[in-house]
Structure 1
Amino acid sequence: MASVRHGSSRGQAWFCTTGLPSDVVFEVHDMSFHLHKFPLMAKSRKIHRMLTEQEEQRPARGRRRKRSSDGGDVGDDGAAETEIEEAEEEESEEQQRVKGDGQQPYSIVFPDFPGGPGTFEAAAKFCYGVRVDFTAWNVAPLRCAAEYLEMTEEHAEDNLAARAEAFLEQTVLRHPGDATKALKSCEELLPLAEELGIVLRCAEAIAARSSSATASRSWFDDLAVLGLGMYKRVMAAMASRVDARATEARESCLVSYARGTIPGLSRSMRRRLASAPVASEVEQRDLLEAVVASLPPDKGSGRVVTAKFLFALLRTAHILRASGAARTALERKAATLLEHAALEDVLIPSYSGAAETLYDVDCVQRVVRYFLAEEEEVGEGEASSSAAITEEVPRPSAVAMVQVGKLVDSYLAEVASDANLKPHKFCELALALPDHARIYDDGVYRAVDIYLKAHPRLTAEERDRVVGVVDCRKLTVEACTHAAQNERLPLRAVLQVLFFEQLQLRRAIAGTLLAAPAGQPQQARRQQHQRAGSGGEAWRGAATTVAQESQVLRLDMDSVASRVQELERECSSMRRAIKKIDGGGGRSGGSRSPGSADGSRPAAATGWRARHGCKFSTQVCDSHARNVVASRASRMGMSP
C-alpha cells in the first residue's frame, strides 16, 4: 500500500504507492506525507474543511493571473502584478519539479499533531481502509488524533474515534497493566488527553482493578514507567478508595514505584527496571518526596510498607539531601515500625560533612524519640480502657518497647567502637528508653564495655557517666561475673555489682525457704490421694517415702541456712570495705597509680581484687539478651 523513503533535502517523505499521483502533501513535524485528498476528506472533517478552503482560493488566483495577461490597467498596480507573475513563474517551476502534469498539490501543515508522524501515518492508513491494530500504547494517541482530525461518527460511520474508544473501554481499562501503558502514552498528549478524560479514566481503572480480589499484582512493576505527574494521579485515585484492599494495593504500588524509579534505594535493591527512565539527582529527590507524601498516614500492617523499606527511604533521603519536612515525615513514619526494624536498617551513615561520627546517631535518636511519643499516646489510650486487660497478658506496646530496647542496645554496641562518638551522645541514646524497655541490662552493659575499650582516654568523670547508664540490679549472673573481673570499670561500680549480686542471691534463697514448707504438704497430700486405693501396703510405702523426703528437706534447709549466714557475713565485710573506700579512697580518688599503664585504675583496685581472689583476665562482654531470661529464671527463680 505505502512505502517510506528518505529525501535528500526535506527530511523524511512518505509516499502512497496506489499508482495514482498524490494531490495533497501533509507536513507533520519533520515528515512529509504525499497522499490523496478524497480518502482523507471522506473520514476527516478537518481535512475536508481545509482542502475545501484551498480549492475555493485557487479559481480566484487563476482569474487574477488571466486579467494580468490580458494587459489590463497598468498604473499604480503594475509593480504588484509583475511580482505576482514572477511568483507564479517560480511556483510553476516548483510545480514541474514535484509533478509532471503541471498541477501543484495542496499543502497542509500540522505542527502540533498529537502523537507525531507515527500516529498520523496510522490515521492516514485508516482513511485508506488499511487495518489498524490497536494496542495499549497507541490507543490514546490514535484517539487524540481522531479528535484532532475530527474523525467522528457525525462525519463518517465506524470512524477512528469510535474504534479507539471501543478498544479503550473494552480492553485497555479492564487490565491495570494496559491502563498503565496507556497512561504513560498520555504524557506526550497533554492537554488533549486530559480534555478527553483518558488520563482520569486510566487512573481510576488502575485504582479499581488493583484492589480487586482476583487481580494479579505482577503488573505493579509497570508503574515505574510513569512520570511523576501521572504517578500522582494514580495515587490520588487510590487514596479516594477507602476499603482495606485498596489501601494495601496502594502501598504495593508505592513500594514498586519507589524501587523502580529511585536508584540505590537500599543495599539489597540493586535491580532496577529497564523501562524506567534514568532520572537526575533533582528528579530523584522530587520522586522521593512524592513517594513520602503518598505514604499512608496510619501505622499500617507492616506487610507491604515495611520498616526496612522506610529506613531505606530515610537513608536515600539523606543521600539526595531531601527537604527537612520530607525527612521528618520519614522519621516519624519509621518510628511507627521501629520494633520491626533490624540492626542493619538503622545503621544510617552520616552523609553530612559536619558530622564526625560514622553513623548518624542523631537521626536514630530522633526516631526513638518519635517512637516513645507514639507509645505514650497509645499507652494513654489503653489506660482509658484498661478495665478488661489483666496484668498477666502483656500489652502490645510493652512488647514493642522491649523489642526497641534490644534494638537500641545492639545499635549502641555497633557504634560504640567509633572513636568520634562523644560520651554524652552515647549516654543520651542509652538513657532515652524508660526502665521497663530493658528486662535485663546485659545488652547495654556490653555496649558500655565496648565503648570503654575503644575510648581509653576518658576522664574519671566521663567514665563514671558512661558506666552509670547500666543498672547493676538488672544484670544476669553471667554479666555480673564478667563485671566483677572487668578492669575497665571503676572500682565503685565493681563493688556495686558484687553487692547487688549477693543481695539478689540472698533474696532468692529466702524465697526458696518460704516456698518449700508450703509446697511440700501439698505434694504429700497429692501423692496420698493418688495412692489411697492401693491398700495398706501402698500406704506404708508412701509414709516411708514421705519420711525420707522430709529428712532430705531438713538437711537441705540446714545447708541453706548455713549458706545464708555465710552470705550475711560476706555482705557485712563488703559494706565495711565500701565504707573504707568511700572514706579513704574518696579523698585521693581520681589520682593515677604509678604502676598503671593508662592511669585509669587506682592501685587499691588491684589489691582489693587480689584479696578477694579476682585473678581472671578481662574480655569484652558478650552477654546477649536471648540468654538472659533462661539463666535468670532457672538460677534465681524470680522476676526482674
Structure 2
Amino acid sequence: MGSHCILEVDVNGEEIFVVDKRIISSYSGKISKLFSKSKDVTPRLKVIFHDFPGGAANFELITRFCYNKGETNINPYNICNLTCAAHFMEMNKFVAGVENLCEQTEKSLDEIKYWTWSELLLALKHCQDLLPGANSIGILDKFLDSLVGKVASSVETSPCPSTSSPDSSGFRLSCETRSSEGLKNSFFRATWWFEDLVGLDIRIIEMVVRLMVSRNVDNGIISKFLFYCQKSRFSSASLDEKVQIIEKVVEMLYSLDISCVSYKSLLELLRVGLNMNLSCCCRERLESMIGSLLDQATLDNLLIPSPTRKSYLYDTNLVLRFLKSFSGKGVRFVPLSQLKKVADLIDLYLSEIAPDPNLKPSKFLAIIRALPDSARDSFDGVYGAVNLYLEVHSGLSEEQKMKVCCGLNYDKLSSESINELTQNANFPSKSVTQALISRQRKLKNLLQDTDRSSFSDYPSRFFQAGRNGRKIDQGSQQIVLYAKKLNIPDENEKLKEHLQGMQWRVVELEKVCQKMQIQMGKMMKSRLSSYSNGKSVPKLCS
C-alpha cells in the first residue's frame, strides 16, 4: 500500500469521511489492526462503523486530534465525547513525543473535583446521549460521584434536616429562632438542585438516586425530588410515558426508608395511576408503601371509588390490601398506638361503607377482622357499623346476619351497647344470647373481685363495696329482665337459672354492704365525739 492511502469512513450511515489512513492509524489502534494484515494495494479503502459513539460530529473531533498531531482542547463540553470515541478507536497507542488521547482525557477527568456545578451538569447531559457506552468505560460514574457529592454536601450543611415528618417542609426550625424567610432559605438550600436534575434521562436519575441512598443522603429530600420529577415530567408526557414515569418513580421510592416518604404524595400518585395500565409489581409496591403508613391516613383517603364496572361504591379490596401491608410481618411488631389509631379509622370506614346495598357480608366481615381484637379497646364503633349494615341489608338470612355478627367482640362492648343490642330487632337471637353471656361473665368477674376485697383494711373499702354492690344489683336486674323477656330455648334454661341465682347473691352482698356502711357510720361518729372531748383518736388499723 502507498504511504498516502485514502480511507473512507462511513460513520453510522450519517456521513462519509475521507481521511489519510496513515495519519489516523498512527493514533488509532482500531484502524491499525483492521488493515495490519491486509495485502490490498488499492489506494482507496473503506470502513463502516455502525455504532460509533456520538456519531459523525464526534468522529470529526477524532480526525482533528489526529491531523493536529495529538493536540486538542479538552473541556467539560467535549470530554465525554472524546473519552468515549478514544476508547472506541483504541487511541492508546504510543506516539513519540505525544500523549495519546486516552491518557489526556484521563488526566482531565482527574480534575473533575474542581469543576463547577454548571460544568458537571453540562458534561452529564452530553454523557447521557452516549449511554450505555459512557457507562461501560466508567466515565459516567465519575460524573455522578462528583455531582452527588456536591448535592450531599449542600443537604448536610442545611440546618436541621428532618426525616421525621415527610409531609412538612423537611426541616425542624423553631418559630422562636427562625423566621419564615429562614425556613424558605433552608428549604431552598436542600432542594436547589431539583430543577437542574429533573430534565436528565430517567436512567441517569435512577443512578443518582441509588448513589444518594448509598451515601445516606436524607431520604425525605430524595423522595421530594422524585415526586417533583414525576409532576414535572407529566405535563408534556404521553399516556405510555406517564406509565413509565410512575413505574420508575415507585421503584426508586421503594428503595427509600418508608418513614421518610410523604403519605399524601404516595396516595396522590396512586390516584393518578388508578386508571393507568401499571404493572402488577408497581401497584403492589405502591399499595404496600401506602399500607405501611396507614396510621397517617384520614377517612377521606380511604373512600376510593370502586373500579369501573363494579357494583359496590368503594374499593374495599384496596383497603383490605392496605391493612395487610400495615400488619406487615405481624401486628406484634406494630406499635400499639399506631394499631389503635388505624382501628379507630377503620371503625369510621365501616360506618361509611355499611349502607352500601351491594357490599357483601363476607367483605364487610373481612374488613372488621383485618385487625386483631387487641387493636380496639372498645367494640362500640364496630357494633354501630354492624347495626347500620344489618338495618340496610334487612333481607339477609339469620345465618348471614350471624356471620356478620361474628366480627363483634361482646366482651369489649360497653353496658350501653349490650343493653341496646339485646333489644335490637336487627340482630339475630344467637347474637343476643352471646351478648347476655358476655354480660353474665362480666358480672361474675366483678362479684369475684368484690369477694376478694378485704373489708377490714380501710374505711374506703366499705364505701367502694357499697357502690359496686349497687352497680352489680342494677346490672343483674337488667339481665334477669332480659332473661324473662326473651324467649330463650330450653337448652339455655340453665343460663336463665344461673342469672337468677346471681341476682340472689347480689342482693345478699348488698345487705352485707349496707351493714358495713352502718358500722362505718357509728365508727366515724365515735371518732368525732372523742375528738371533741380532747381525747386521743384510736387507730382503726394497726
Instruction: Name the counterpart of 2:111.
Output: 170
Unaligned runs of 5+ in 1: 1-22, 54-58, 63-105, 262-270, 379-395, 522-552, 587-640
Instruction: Name the counterpart of 2:483.
Output: 578
Q: Distance in 2 between matches of 1:187 and 1:340?
A: 39
Instruction: Name the counterpart of 1:260.
Output: 229
Larger Rg: 1
Q: Distance in 2 between matches of 1:461 and 1:337?
A: 36
Q: Distance in 2 between matches of 1:177 and 1:440?
A: 61
Letter in 1 for 2:247: L
What does 1:193-204 align with in structure 2 at a 5 Å threshold?
193-204=134-145
Q: Distance in 1 between matches of 2:423 and 2:117?
A: 66
Q: Distance in 2 between matches of 1:61 and 1:469?
A: 92
3-state SS of 1:582 partner: coil
Structure 1 residue 410 corresponds to structure 2 residue 348: yes
Contact 2:24 2:63 in 1 (8 A): no
Contact 1:28 1:116 in 2 (8 A): yes
Structure 1 residue 140 corresponds to structure 2 residue 99: no
Instruction: Name the counterpart of 1:441.
Output: 379
Structure 1 residue 295 corresponds to structure 2 residue 251: no
Contact 2:340 2:375 in 1 (8 A): yes
For residue 278 of structure 1, the aligned residue among 237, 241, 251 is 237
Structure 1 residue 115 corresponds to structure 2 residue 54: yes
Cα deviation 1:71-129 (Å, max 9, x = unaligned): xxxxxxxxxxxxxxxxxxxxxxxxxxxxxxxxxxx999977553345556777899899
Q: Distance in 1 between matches of 2:240 and 2:98?
A: 51
Cα deviation 1:522-580 (Å, max 9, x = unaligned): xxxxxxxxxxxxxxxxxxxxxxxxxxxxxxx99xx59x959955972673354244344
Letter in 1 for 2:226: Y
Contact 1:288 1:317 in 2 (8 A): no
- Distance verdict in 2 for CA 1:192–1:567, change over 3 Å: closer
- Distance verdict in 2 for CA 1:280–1:199, change over 3 Å: farther
Contact 2:113 2:146 in 1 (8 A): no
- Distance verdict in 2 for CA 1:479–1:27, change over 3 Å: same
What does 1:219-258 align with in structure 2 at a 5 Å threshold?
219-220=193-194, 224-227=198-201, 229-231=203-205, 233-234=207-208, 237=211, 241=214, 246=216, 248-249=217-218, 252-253=221-222, 256-257=225-226
Identity among equivalent pairs (%): 26
Contact 2:223 2:260 in 1 (8 A): no
For residue 462 of structure 1, the aligned residue among 393, 400, 421 is 400
Contact 1:223 1:253 in 2 (8 A): no
Q: Distance in 2 between matches of 1:177 and 1:456?
A: 70
Contact 1:251 1:304 in 2 (8 A): yes
Q: Distance in 1 between matches of 2:232 and 2:194?
A: 13
Letter in 2 for 1:202: F
Contact 1:412 1:447 in 2 (8 A): yes
Q: Structure 1 residue 374: deviation in Å? A: 1.7
- Distance verdict in 2 for CA 1:576–1:192, change over 3 Å: closer
Q: Distance in 2 between matches of 1:118 and 1:417?
A: 69
- Distance verdict in 2 for CA 1:348–1:497, change over 3 Å: same
Q: Distance in 2 between matches of 1:402 and 1:120?
A: 67
TM-score, normalisation: structure 2: 0.58
Q: Distance in 2 between matches of 1:217 and 1:260?
A: 15
Contact 2:28 2:93 in 1 (8 A): no
Instruction: Name the counterpart of 1:365.
Output: 320
Q: Structure 1 residue 438: deviation in Å? A: 0.2
Q: Distance in 1 between matches of 2:345 and 2:25?
A: 70
Q: Structure 1 residue 448: deviation in Å? A: 2.4
Q: Distance in 2 between matches of 1:491 and 1:176?
A: 76
Unaligned runs of 5+ in 2: 1-5, 36-40, 159-188, 492-542
Q: Distance in 2 between matches of 1:172 and 1:120?
A: 28
Letter in 2 for 1:422: K
Letter in 2 for 1:199: L
Aligned-residue RMSD, C-alpha: 5.9
Letter in 2 for 1:295: Y
- Distance verdict in 2 for CA 1:446–1:249, change over 3 Å: same
Contact 1:176 1:205 in 2 (8 A): no
What does 1:329-344 align with in structure 2 at a 5 Å threshold?
329-344=285-300
Q: Distance in 2 between matches of 1:333 and 1:132?
A: 50
Instruction: Name the counterpart of 2:473.
Output: 568
